[in-house]
């Protein structure tokens, strides 16, 4: 088949069937270690490695339907272990591997809670897994196994899987402490990938790039399951390696002529700022059809900065795209059109009306007192969205409310968490917790419901304040958290911001920085911050995805700053 030809519509009954149908010699996964070391396996080689892992699990008593937890570093071995579990008819789940970017206390708590909730038959770890973390792995009656591919021994006998069998469990929360496992069937995942394939017009010539963790839906679905089902190559690197050397992404894409990548919003800004202008022209990004921003919300400034930084490297304006996605729906809900000459639709609206009346009034581009919103695209087939008010009333086009979702790939509930399921699903509709609006068949996401701050009767989003603060050169990119603190004497919330400095606070002029930050926030939002708390690097609690964990950071503030009075307020 020609490399430019569209891949065939999936006709497989299961994900295992899709993997087994892949051409033997076609390259599948290339894992990039550095410019001098890479490992590539074909689909045939990957299948054999997966079968050896499956045989190892089988010999240790794992059977069809058993949960298998995989806590291994990002790489081909971890992927093969996951696929081997599916081949066995078991239900695998990736969990985050411990690293220096995850606070140890938070990781221990999350590891214990998630493994206990899954009640796994086997927990698969590598030989370097820290011994001090072992007591926090809740094995129940299961086995703790060191990852061994089992030599040349594969399955004792084939295990048949069915479309409605559970394929795997992915976790929806950004922090390890939230035990929200989403169990997905083979049929649901295949149906979802078919919708993505059509929206993205995937061809045999496509090649996916990824540094995304496999324990999150963006990495697992878009950068593992989709290439596996569509039989296209994927080039990966470690998330930690990307953080340390973000321009490695550009080198890999240039070398391998990658065409598709998914990134969280902060990565666009991070890559642009961490790649010196003198190095940008050495890369060739002309092969990229789409860098897809999957954050809520999508930020115009971040995408502009990325586009402007790398247009000298051949990046097309149309290649910077957007999507709205979540684990509860397998992955994508919407996708911007990637065949146009420009990126996602942008809308300028009256910022004052948005804050005070929670509705959209369009104005001219860049008008005084306006705000730019970026669309997350149109809904994928099989997806339906309603925008509802706090009391559950469906809102009109252009009115801002909570996004409710119904689809043919929507999960049926959180694994072993009926309490969370009852809160999340209402009459077949999933309450996403995200706020947004519909306009002209386009979905715009503006923030999280839980992150909404009400100051003097105006609705403000914590992310908006954090974006302004993070833009200051003294603040580390993306390392700020805005928190609402109720003031009973005023009858409204006040804003407290904690942010990480780029350098040690002892070497910074704190008063000048706080004054400049205060002026920036007032200018952008009209709201005065009650207090800025500037901390050294690595103080803010991060999620397993590397983003600030708002609730956990607030808890840390409670412990260290009792004078704020946060301990007496709801989180």
Task: List the pLDDT tens digit at each of the 571 positions of the chain.
Answer: 456 555 555 579 999 999 999 999 999 999 999 888 999 999 999 999 999 999 999 999 999 999 999 999 999 999 999 999 999 999 999 999 988 767 777 788 888 888 889 999 999 999 899 989 999 898 777 788 887 765 566 777 768 889 999 999 998 754 334 568 999 999 999 999 999 999 999 999 999 999 999 999 999 999 999 999 999 999 999 998 998 899 999 999 999 999 999 999 889 988 998 999 999 999 999 999 999 999 778 889 889 999 999 999 999 999 999 999 999 999 999 999 987 778 899 999 999 999 889 999 999 999 998 999 999 999 999 999 999 999 999 999 999 999 999 999 999 889 999 999 999 999 999 999 999 999 999 999 998 888 888 887 778 888 889 989 988 989 988 889 998 877 777 677 889 999 999 887 777 788 999 999 999 998 888 888 989 999 998 898 877 666 777 778 888 888 888 887 765 454 3
Give 18's contacts (C-beta < 8 A, 6+ positions apart): 10, 12, 190, 228, 229, 231
Cα atoms in the 13 Å half-sphere on the side-chain side of 535 = 18
Token pair 């994900």 in the structure block, residue: 15
Please report the domains of the chain, with CATH numbers, ordered by start residue.
15-189 (3.40.50.980), 456-568 (3.30.300.30)
**Crossing angle (nearest 10°) for helices 43-59 and 76-87:** 60
Confirm whether pTM is higher than 0.85: yes
Report the distance separating Cα 445 and Cα 338, nearest Å.
19
Q: Residues 252, 242: contact at Cβ < 8 Å? A: no
Whether residue 297 is preceded by a cis peptide bond, meaning omega within 30 degrees of 0, is: yes
Report the distance separating Cα 200 and Cα 506, nearest Å.
50
Question: E strand or H helix at 523, and its extent?
Answer: helix 510-525
> Dmax of the chain from CA atoms?
72
Pairing state between β 166-171 and 181-185: antiparallel
Chain centroid to Cα 293, Å, comes to 10
Handedness of CA 19, 20, 26, 32 (dihedral sign): positive
Tell me if residue 499 falls in helix, strand or coil: strand
- Kindly list the distances between the CA atom of residue 50 and the CA atoms of 47, 84, 318, in Å, as whole numbers in the listed order: 5, 4, 38
Cα atoms in the 13 Å half-sphere on the side-chain side of 120 = 32
Pairing state between β 442-448 and 429-439: antiparallel
Residue 568 DSSP code: G
Q: Residues 383, 369: contact at Cβ < 8 Å? A: no
Pairing state between β 234-236 and 91-94: unpaired
How many Cβ atoms sit within 10 Å of the Cβ of residue 390? 8
Chain centroid to Cα 188, Å, comes to 20
Report the distance separating Cα 551 and Cα 571, nearest Å.
7
């Amino acid at each position: 088949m020609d490399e430019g030809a569209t891949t065939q519509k999936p006709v497989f009954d299961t994900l295992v069937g899709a993997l087994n149908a892949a051409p033997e010699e076609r390259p599948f996964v290339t894992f990039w270690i550095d410019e001098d070391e890479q490992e590539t396996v074909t689909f045939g080689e990957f299948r054999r490695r997966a079968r050896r892992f499956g045989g190892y699990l089988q010999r240790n008593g794992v059977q069809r339907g058993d949960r298998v937890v995989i806590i291994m570093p990002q790489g081909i071995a971890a992927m093969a272990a996951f696929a081997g579990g599916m081949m066995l008819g078991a239900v695998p789940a990736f969990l985050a591997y411990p690293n220096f970017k995850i606070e140890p206390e938070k990781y221990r708590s999350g590891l214990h809670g998630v493994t206990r909730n899954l009640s796994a038959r086997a927990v698969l770890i590598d030989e370097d897994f820290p011994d001090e973390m072992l007591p926090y792995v809740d094995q129940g009656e299961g086995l703790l196994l060191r990852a061994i591919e089992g030599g040349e021994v594969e399955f004792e006998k084939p295990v048949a899987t069915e479309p409605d069998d559970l394929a795997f469990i992915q976790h929806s929360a950004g922090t390890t402490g939230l035990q929200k496992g989403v169990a997905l069937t083979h049929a649901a995942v295949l149906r979802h990938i078919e919708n993505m394939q059509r929206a993205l017009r995937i061809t045999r010539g496509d090649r996916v790039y990824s540094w995304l963790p496999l324990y999150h839906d963006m990495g697992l679905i878009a950068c593992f399951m989709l290439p596996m089902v569509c039989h296209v190559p994927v080039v990966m690197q470690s998330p930690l390696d990307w953080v340390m050397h973000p321009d490695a992404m550009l080198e890999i894409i240039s070398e391998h002529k990658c065409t598709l990548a998914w990134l969280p919003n902060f990565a666009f800004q991070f890559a642009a700022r961490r790649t010196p202008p003198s190095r940008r022209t050495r890369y060739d990004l002309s092969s990229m059809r789409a860098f897809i921003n999957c954050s809520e919300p999508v930020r115009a400034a971040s995408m502009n900065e990325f586009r402007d930084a790398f247009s000298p490297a051949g990046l097309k304006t149309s290649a910077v795209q957007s999507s709205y996605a979540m684990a509860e729906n397998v992955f994508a809900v919407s996708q911007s059109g990637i065949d146009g000459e420009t990126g996602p639709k942008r809308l300028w609206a009256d910022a004052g009306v948005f804050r005070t009346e929670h509705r959209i009034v369009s104005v001219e581009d860049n008008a005084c007192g306006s705000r730019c919103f970026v669309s997350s695209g149109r809904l994928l087939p099989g997806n339906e969205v309603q925008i509802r008010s706090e009391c559950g009333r469906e809102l009109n086009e252009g009115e801002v409310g909570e996004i409710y979702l119904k689809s043919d790939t929507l999960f049926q509930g959180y694994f072993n968490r009926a309490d969370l399921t009852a809160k999340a699903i209402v009459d077949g509709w999933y309450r996403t917790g995200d706020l947004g609006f519909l306009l002209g068949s386009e979905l715009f996401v503006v923030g999280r419901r839980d992150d909404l701050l009400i100051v003097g009767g105006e609705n403000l989003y914590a992310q908006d304040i954090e974006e302004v603060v993070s833009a200051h050169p003294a603040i580390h990119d993306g390392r700020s958290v805005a928190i609402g603190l109720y003031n009973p004497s005023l009858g409204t919330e006040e804003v407290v911001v904690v942010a990480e400095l780029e350098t040690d606070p002892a070497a910074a002029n704190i008063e000048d920085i706080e004054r400049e930050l205060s002026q920036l926030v007032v200018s952008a939002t009209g709201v005065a911050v009650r207090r800025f708390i500037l901390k050294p690097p690595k103080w803010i609690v991060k999620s397993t995805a590397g983003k600030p964990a708002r609730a956990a950071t607030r808890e840390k503030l409670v412990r260290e700053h009792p004078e704020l009075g946060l301990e007496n307020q709801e989180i």
